[in-house]
């Protein structure tokens, strides 16, 4: 297992377009987290899954953001009608449970022009 | 709701000296876990140390230790014998949803 994988690593999109990011967690991990991180700031919690169940989504930044984790394996984060303020690093992490180490991917850097 | 606050945006330490990074948190959970993560420049976040809130004993991991004060909801990180490779952003995280603080940038002077 090569760890948490995120794709793409970089995405440049025009304002108003939709984008989708993918996260492949470590295979035996049942928890998966999504964060947004801007330069010099801490990761901002967006949502998380326990297997395929999305346990918290009220912190998604707006109704333009949505996430899925079909079959409890990989997850996708979609941003519709992107805005310049969406430009950030989007991080994914996975863990066995809430008390164990979360392993982070390298992130997807989104630039909205 | 969970909040995590790191009040020191930047800290500086001389190589081989000791530094303490502060963190306070608020959570409604009765049983929870606390973590310190390190993020070197342009690199992935990695775990430094974790603490179970139901344990009174402070966690220790080599040169890294915590001072956990549950009543005060305080969770500070002490780095002993600081090394140049310790220079990074340090993030405190807490709770079931793994909520992060804003981070402290640690600089290590040779």
Token representation of residue A5: 């994988």
> Mind telling me how many Å the CA of A80 is from chain B's nearest CA?
24
pLDDT above 90: residue A68: yes
pLDDT at B15: 97
> Which of B4, B8, B45, B50 has the highest number of chain A CBs within 10 A, making it the mutation to test binding with A?
B45
pLDDT digits 0-9 by tens, A80-107? 999 999 999 999 999 987 677 899 999 9
Q: Which residue has the higher pLDDT, A21 or B52?
A: A21
Instruction: Tell me if A93 and B45 make a contact (CB, 8 A cut-off).
Output: yes
Find chain B residues with C-beta within 8 A of A109's C-beta: none
pLDDT digits (tens, 9 = 90+) for B1-35: 689 999 999 999 999 999 999 999 998 887 888 99
Per-residue pLDDT, A40: 84
In this prediction, residue B54 carries a pLDDT of 87
For B60-74, what is each residue's pLDDT tens digit? 999 999 999 999 999
Contact B98 A104 (CB under 8 A): no
- Report pLDDT for A82: 97
DSSP for B26-69, written as a single string: E---SS-EEEEEEE-TTS--EEEEEEETT--SPPEETTEEEEEE
Query: Are B100 and A93 in contact (CB < 8 Å)?
Result: no
> Within its chain, how far is the Cα of B109 from the centroid?
20
């Amino acid at each position: 297992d090569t760890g948490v994988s995120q794709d793409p690593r970089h995405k440049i999109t025009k304002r108003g377009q939709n984008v989708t990011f993918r996260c492949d967690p470590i295979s035996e991990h049942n928890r998966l987290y999504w964060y947004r991180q801007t330069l010099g700031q801490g990761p901002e919690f967006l949502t998380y899954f326990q297997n395929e169940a999305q346990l918290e989504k009220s912190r998604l930044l707006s109704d333009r953001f949505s996430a899925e984790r079909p079959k409890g394996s990989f997850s996708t984060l979609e941003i519709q009608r992107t805005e310049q303020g969406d430009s950030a690093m989007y991080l994914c992490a996975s863990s066995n449970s809430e008390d164990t180490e979360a392993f982070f991917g390298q992130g997807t850097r989104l630039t909205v022009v | 709701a969970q909040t995590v606050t790191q009040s020191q945006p930047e800290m500086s330490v001389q190589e081989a000296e000791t530094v303490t990074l502060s963190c306070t948190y608020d959570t409604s959970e009765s049983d929870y876990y606390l973590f310190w993560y390190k993020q070197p420049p342009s690199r992935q976040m990695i775990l430094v140390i974790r603490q179970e809130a139901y344990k009174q004993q402070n966690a220790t991991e080599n040169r890294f230790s915590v001072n956990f004060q549950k009543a005060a909801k305080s969770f500070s990180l002490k780095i002993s014998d600081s090394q140049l490779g310790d220079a990074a952003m340090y993030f405190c995280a807490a709770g079931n949803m793994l909520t992060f603080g804003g981070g402290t940038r640690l600089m290590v002077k040779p």
